A = this chain, B = another copy of it.
Amino acid sequence: MVLNIPAQIGTRIEDIDTPCLLIDLDAYERNIRRMADFIDAHGLRHRAHAKTHKSADISLDQMAAGAVGVCCQKTSEAEALVHGGVRDVLVSNEVINPNMIERLAAMATQARVMVCVDDIDNIDDLSAAAARYNVELGVLVEIDVGAGRCGVAPGEAAVPLAKKIHAAPNLVFKGLQAYQGKAQHVHDYDERKARIDEAVAATRRTVEQIAQAGLSCELVAGAGTGTYAFEGKSGVYNELQCGSYVFMDADYQRIAMADGQPIDDFENSLFIYTTVMSKTKADKAICDAGLKAQSVDSGVAVVYGRDDIEYVGASDEHGVIADPDNVLALGEKLRLVPGHCDPTVNIYDWYIGVRNGVVERILPVTARGMCL
C-alpha cells in the first residue's frame, strides 16, 4: 500500500503535490457558520448531508456547529462515518440488498440509525434484521416530490407504508423524506422556487393524510443547498439536509450568478489544486488535473480567480488550459473550482486544509468509494 498524501502539516501551499483537494479553512468555517445561523434563526434542525464530503471530521465540525447528525446515501458510507465518531445517521435512501440490510441493522448497535423506504415488502426485511440485532431503526417514508427518482407518490400512497412501519417490530415511524433533488440546480430563481412550492404542497398534503390515519410525522426532511431557504421557511419541513454549502462548486456558482447574487453568500472553499506540467505551446498550457481528478457531469472545472485563462478540456490525466496571453509557466500552480463537488470528492483520499498559505489540517475522505 502506498500512503499517497500530497502534503504534511506545515507544508507551504506552493509545495503541495498535485492534483489534490484543497480546503480553504477560513471559507469552509464561514460556510458552516452561515448555515448554522440560518438554522438557528428559523428554529429548524440541520442534518448535514455527508454525501458531499464523506468526511467524519467535517461531519463532526457540522455537529459542533449545531447539526443534529448526518445524512448518508449508502450504508457503507454511514458505517465509515460511524467508525469516525458520528453517532446519529440517516441513510436518506432505500436499502434493498440483504447484506446491506444486515449491516444497517448491525450498525444500529453503535449509533442512532434511520433509513428510508418506498416499498411495502422492504419494511418486513428491515424489521426482521432490526429484531435479529435487538435494535430500533427509525424509518421515513420517502415520497417523490418531483425528482422522479425514488419514493412513492405524495398523498395516499404513503399512508399504508407509514402504518406498516408503525406496526412493525423494532421499527419506529419517524416521518417523511421529501427531497426535490431536481430543483437544486435549476438556474432560474422563480422556476426553482416554483418547484419547491409544489414539493411543499405535496408534502403538506401527505403529512395531513398520514395524520388522518392517526400517525404523526415527527420529521419532515429534505432540502439542499440550492433551495433550503424555501423549505426552511415553508412551515412544513423541519429537518434540512444541505450538503454542498460547505464547499460550493462551479454549478452552484452559476446558479448564484443567474440569481444575481451568491446563495446566501456561501463561498467556494473546495479546490482542485493543479500544476502546469507542460508548456510547449504559446496559447495553451497542460495541467495535471484531468478526468481522474474531477467529475465532469456538470461541466469541467473553472480556474478560480482568473479571467485571463480558461480550463477548456480534460482527458484522463491532463487538463487543457487556454492561455491566449501566454502568461502561464511550467510548474505554476492553480486552483480549480470543481464543476460538481460530490462526485469529485469521491475520487480523492485526502483533503488538504490550508490557512494563511500553510497546511493546517489533513482530513481523510473517510467514506471515499463507500458505495454499497
Chain A residues engaging chain B, CB cutoff 8 angstroms: 1-2, 4, 6, 15, 17-20, 51, 73-74, 76, 79-80, 83, 93-94, 96-97, 99-100, 118-119, 121-122, 144, 147-153, 181, 275-281, 284, 286, 288, 291-293, 295-297, 314-318, 320, 330-331, 340, 342-343, 346-349, 367-372
Contact = CB atoms under 8 A, between A and B. Distances in A.
Nearest to A278: B150
Nearest to A284: B148
Contact of A342 (B291, B295, B348): B291
Contacts of A296: 295-297
Contact of A278 (B74, B94, B100, B330): B94
A119 B331 CA distance: 11
Given A94-B277, A118-B278, A277-B96, A320 B372 contact: no
28 contacts: A2-B79, A2-B80, A4-B76, A4-B79, A4-B370, A17-B97, A51-B316, A51-B317, A73-B316, A93-B317, A96-B331, A119-B278, A144-B280, A148-B284, A149-B286, A149-B315, A149-B318, A149-B320, A150-B277, A152-B280, A181-B315, A288-B371, A292-B342, A292-B371, A295-B295, A296-B297, A316-B342, A347-B369
A162 to B, nearest CB: 15
Q: Considering the complex of A and B, which 3 residue pairs feature the smallest CB-CB distances, nearest first?
A: A150-B278, A291-B343, A73-B317
A91 to B, nearest CB: 11
Q: Is the contact region of chain A dominated by helix, strand, or loop, or is it mixed?
A: loop
Contacts of A76: 2, 4
Given A2-B83, A280-B151, A119 B316 contact: no
Contacts of A83: 1-2
Contacts of A151: 278, 280
Contact of A96 (B80, B284, B330): B330
Given A4-B372, A149-B320, A291 B295 contact: yes
A163 B371 CA distance: 50
Contacts of A74: 317
Contacts of A51: 316-317
Contacts of A121: 330
A340 B51 CA distance: 23
Contacts of A331: 96-97
B2 A370 contact: yes
A244 B91 CA distance: 36
A71 to B, nearest CB: 11
A113 to B, nearest CB: 15
Contacts of A292: 342-343, 346, 371
Contacts of A152: 280
A346 B343 contact: no
A297 B286 contact: no
B100 A17 contact: yes
B342 A369 contact: no
Given A79-B2, A100-B17, A330-B119, A278 B149 contact: yes
A352 B136 CA distance: 33
Given A2-B80, A96-B330, 14 more contacts: A2-B76, A2-B370, A19-B371, A94-B277, A96-B331, A144-B280, A149-B286, A181-B315, A288-B371, A292-B342, A296-B297, A316-B343, A346-B347, A347-B369
